[in-house]
Structure 1
Amino acid sequence: MEKKIITISREFGSGGRYIGRQIAAKLGIAFYDKDIILKTAEETGLSEEFIEKKGEYSPAKSIFSYAFVGRDSTGISLDDYLYTAQRKVILEIAEKGPCVIVGRCADYILRERTDCVHVFIHGDQRVKLERICALYQKTEAGALKLMKDTDKKRSINYRYNTDQEWGNAQNYTMTLNSSVLGYEKCARLIMEAAD
């Protein structure tokens, strides 16, 4: 494996986490998603629930929401502290060996490494809605709201922490439409890019 680290950013409902898990299993390498939450909780003493809720999502659906979060005397907010802690965990994970890392700005955090493939998985709205309805037992209206809210908060969080646009093809090695390609082909293309 030429590129030993694969980062996957994804639209909600696109199957990015599933694709990442399949790649890790096929390559026999570590898979990090929720594990980052656990490791960050251990390092910071913050609750797993708090980290899961705040670690990848903005406080609200506007970049201005960060202006209203509490800050300590040095100007650091709890969101800033959490990002710094997650960044440290991701950098440590990358040093351990080959792995797949899902979300949490890992593509940006590891951008200077030459042994990474950074992927953005997106999909067609109709297909994503069907998947969300099935996985989360939502009505179509509920699934649409959940999808839009989740992606909006991920996008804002990404912009705040990286000053980059989430989903912009220039930030990734490749972007793939899982609705068109299917999960298996996406996994195969990513593995080929890493080889």
Structure 2
Amino acid sequence: MEKRIITISREFGSGGRFIGEETAKKLGITYYDKNIINEIAEKSGLSPEYVRESAELSPKKGLFAYAFAGRDITGKSIEDMVYEAQRKVILELADRESCVIIGRNADYILKDRDDVLNVFIHGDMPEKTQRIMDLYNVGEKEAVKMMADTDKRRMTNYNFYTDQKWGKASNYTLCLNSSQLGYNRCEKIIMECSCNP
């Protein structure tokens, strides 16, 4: 079956977002990343700023923050409401059109569909560090810290809401090392796998 939806999970600095955006352009399908934040905000009743900070990353305090988050009378925390709203938006997008969705646990949310290609992009430390230094105009030490913090928060959020392990190969159709393969080849492999049953 042709894969209509491509989800891309990625390590910070691996270029996963760029690869996803280019793949969507080349396939002529919609690219979803930060542009779904307003829809998630609308569904959750929370501000777009809050959603931008919380929809994919765990609270800065880590896993314990989920356990001790303030909960309403139904037992749901604000993080749970954001996740539920995000889940609804992603399911609606998948029903509506072919697309590339970056992060946001989309691989897990869409796991029951046959028309999804789940990709995990990772890379080698030196390349990722250099990319972050260039993109954010920071020194090496700061780049390494940003990488560790962001990946830890992505992992915590993913592990908490999916009962799966972030970055574990068996959760994805493809795991690609962008440092070894280069962005263009990653895009070609994803396109090939999405178009061929």
Classify the TM-score, shorter chain: over 0.9
In 2, distance between residues paired with 1:128 and 1:38?
29
* Alpha-carbon shift at residue 60 of structure 1 (Å): 2.6
Q: Is the 8 A contact 1:62 1:156 kept in 2?
A: yes
Equivalent residue for 1:176? 176
Q: TM-score if structure 1 supplies the norm length?
A: 0.98
Deviation per CA, 1:142-187, whole angstroms, max 9, x where unpaired? 0110000000000000001001000000000010000000000000
SS in 2 for 1:175: strand
| Range with greater deviation from structure 2 (81-90 or 64-73) | 64-73
In 1, distance between residues paired with 2:66 and 2:28?
39
* Alpha-carbon shift at residue 44 of structure 1 (Å): 2.5
Identity %: 58
* Alpha-carbon shift at residue 42 of structure 1 (Å): 2.3
Q: Is the 8 A contact 1:61 1:152 kept in 2?
A: no
Superposition misfits of 4+ residues, deviation over 3 angstroms = none
Q: Is the 8 A contact 1:61 1:149 kept in 2?
A: no
In 1, distance between residues paired with 2:168 and 2:61?
19
In 2, distance between residues paired with 1:14 and 1:102?
13
Equivalent residue for 1:39? 39
Aligned-partner residue type, residue 193 of structure 2: A
* Alpha-carbon shift at residue 39 of structure 1 (Å): 1.1
Unaligned stretches of 5+ in structure 2? Answer: none
Q: CA RMSD in A?
A: 1.0
Aligned-partner residue type, residue 59 of structure 1: P
Q: Give the 5 Å matches for 1:91-110.
A: 91-110=91-110
Equivalent residue for 1:121? 121
State the number of aligned residues.
195
In 2, distance between residues paired with 1:27 and 1:97?
13
Aligned-partner residue type, residue 10 of structure 1: R
Unaligned stretches of 5+ in structure 1? Answer: none
* Alpha-carbon shift at residue 61 of structure 1 (Å): 4.8
Q: TM-score if structure 2 supplies the norm length?
A: 0.97
* Alpha-carbon shift at residue 26 of structure 1 (Å): 0.3
In 2, distance between residues paired with 1:154 and 1:88?
19
* Alpha-carbon shift at residue 46 of structure 1 (Å): 1.3
Deviation per CA, 1:64-84, whole angstroms, max 9, x where unpaired? 221111001111000001000
